[in-house]
Structure 1
Amino acid sequence: MSRLNLQPLHIDFYQNPTLDLAQALLGKLLVKETEEGVASGWIVETEAYMGPFDRAAHSFGNRRTKRTEVMFGPPGHFYTYVMHTHCLVNVVSGEVGHPEAVLIRAVEPYQGIDLMYSRRGQEKKEKQLTNGPGKLTKALGITKLDYGLPCDKKPLYIAEGNDVQSIERGPRIGIDNSGEAKDYPWRYWISGNRFVSR
């Protein structure tokens, strides 16, 4: 992947419909700045969650809780939450009052790889640093404290990326108890990228 000017994408980028946004995010750069340094990675895998009618979404049936509140606001904010001790990061999408989001499932390391090893363990293979939603947040230093931050401002933001040649799609992962929603083909990934989770 090429070297780019690390400027956050304009907030208008997030006005895309959720399924389109999930694909448009592929190839973009997810960046987290901390006191330890900057860590970033190219987004290579996403999953779309379509809100009130999607049984796999936290906001299914318009469920509005302290955790899901950010999803009811404007698109272009980060929705972070903890699941099985791992923090996961999503991009809020959809119109105000229609709570949808895109989970960032995997990234390809770009900046701060030494920092990623210090956070994830020196014994890890590079491929294992960020090839899953809980792995990438730990590697980049993304935490629950990033909940609600805008995607177009530092310290956590998404920057311009590279054109993606080929995108594949299939069912989402780890949502077996969500009825027919487990079969919706709303997971997207860059064809052939070795950092895709599976």
Structure 2
Amino acid sequence: MDLALEGAPETTSGGLARPRVAGLMPAFLVCGLGCDLEVAAANLGLAPQMLRPFADQSLQAELPDPQGRWRYWPSTGMAMWSGGNAEAETAPISLRRARIEVVPAMDLLLRAGFFCTEMSLLRSAGWSAPLDGRAGLCEMARREPLGVSGWWIDDRGDSARVEIFADGTIWGESALIAERWLLTIAGRELA
């Protein structure tokens, strides 16, 4: 579904789905960069020397303005933007953002040890009232939402506020949390 159609979530000035809760930090993936470092860097608005090796065979560039970082995986031609604060949406880029199918993403998160204990679902008419996790999952089985805003707990007992949108944006209470949820959902593509 094209999120420019009626019923799409409100967007930020950078074109990301606007989070339900203020103060969350964004993360999203872009695809189609290819494996050539110079071309990929140029498409991300970076000089190739800005990208430094990172532990998982990706390359990373830290940016002061907007505050955040790009991580680029040459083997998949994908890159992840992770904002360093709630306003760090990154400059508009003409690259295709990887979309998220919300229901399969919820299943991947559950299998990875993340459970949403309370959620609101975004539909064309707006956000639902808060639902407990099981009721929310049942409601999602009836119809794919445009987004989920909720409280999550992992298998270690840590909790976090995270929002997942079909446009491919994850908003988390920290950049690390947004990255962790996004990479859990997309991890198989980045391996």
Q: Do Structure 1 and Structure 2 share a fold, with TM-score over 0.5?
A: no
Larger radius of gyration: 2
Tell which has more relative contact order, 1 or 2 (C-alpha 8 A, sep 6+): 1
User: TM-score, normalised to structure 2's length?
Assistant: 0.28
User: TM-score, normalised to structure 1's length?
Assistant: 0.27
